Structure 1
Amino acid sequence: MSASATSPGRLLRLTLQIYTKKETPLEEGEKFSREYLSKVASIHARNGIEIYQMVYTPAPFREALDGMNRRNKRGWVIDDHDITVEFYFRSFAELTRVNQDPEFQALQAAEGPYVNLVHTVAAKVQRRHVT
């Protein structure tokens, strides 16, 4: 996280909900996520992304949560995506810089065997005030 992320101001958040390809074995998907995160973090930092986080939630985790949900009669709707990614940034210029970064473009090309692009959901960009 950069120093400016701790200073007061406005941050924008973009959330992506990503599905992995069904044929991807669980262990392989987890390994890919760890390696991807370690590579992409430095790319985002040098292009001005304030905060980047990735949460990997494979099917067995969601099934366990759904079981708990039913047992406790919570009535929750369990999201069915495998990965949630959040970007926090000051302006769209940072996203543009990331998308134009050749190293990031190469990294995205490596997603092919793992990421199901058809069902990726981009949530609206929301403001977050940092104090």
Structure 2
Amino acid sequence: MSETQKVLRLAGSYYKLDHVSEEEFHNFISRDHAVKAAKIHERHGILHYQLAFGSSQTRELAKGLQLPWKIDNHDVTIEFYFTDVSALLAVSADQDFKDLHVDTEKFIRLDATTISVTWIEVYLKDGKIVNIDSEGKSLQPLFAERSVIALPDKPADKYY
């Protein structure tokens, strides 16, 4: 895969239910849900799947940095990376994926979930500069090229 190939990211940010502890939430999402979901994502051509966890400790760290911005207090952000929306649609239509989400209702507040779809531009990978030429200019395609995104012919299947 080229470092400048258009890679899209769907990120879903979630809150745990109030009665679920941070440890219970992490154990379910990390040790059960993500392991099963990764196998489904691989089957349908998702390039990369990762989870970013927030906790009371990470939020305290963010407060301690005393930066001027609002702190995102979601408990987990789940990210899917793909080059073609058909992979994402295939995941949403997969019966195993739909079945997997039945248990999430015991842990996640679906009413407060947010999503974003973005494209990715990489400039540092494995501690090394990438996609910057010898004159210090970006090798990433221009906005006019990057922002052309094929829309799906149909919506994602309901799996939640």
For residue 25 of structure 1, report the CA deviation from its aligned partner: 1.4
| Aligned residue among 16, 22, 26 for 2:22 | 26
CA distance 1:64–1:126, change in 2 (3 Å):
closer
2:158 corresponds to? none
SS in 2 for 1:126: strand
Q: Which aligned runs of 4 or more in structure 1 are off by greater than 4 angstroms?
A: none
Structure 2 counterpart of 1:82, from 75, 83, 89: 75
Return the alpha-carbon distance in structure 2 between the equivalents of residues 57 and 128 of structure 1.
22
The higher-RCO structure (CA 8 Å, 6+ apart) is 1
- When normalised by structure 2's length, the TM-score is 0.69
Relative to 1, partners in 2 of residues 1:57 and 1:129: Cα closer, same or farther, differing over 3 Å? closer
- 1:112 pairs, out of 76, 94, 105, with 105
User: Whose Rg is larger?
Assistant: 2
Residue 58 (structure 1) aligned with residue 58 (structure 2): no
Cα distance, 1:129 vs structure 2: 5.0
**8 Å Cα contact 1:69-1:75 kept in structure 2:** no
RMSD of equivalent CA atoms:
1.6
Q: Which runs of 5+ in 2 are unaligned?
A: 123-130, 132-160
- Deviations for 1:58-117, whole angstroms, at most 9, x for unmatched residues? 233213421x133xxx22321011101111111111111101111111111110110100
In terms of fraction of residues, the more helix-rich structure is: 1
Q: Which runs of 5+ in 1 are unaligned?
A: 1-6
The equivalent position to 2:12 in structure 1, one of 13, 16, 20, is 16
Q: CA deviation at 1:22?
A: 1.1
SS at match of 1:80: coil
Q: Count matched residues.
A: 120
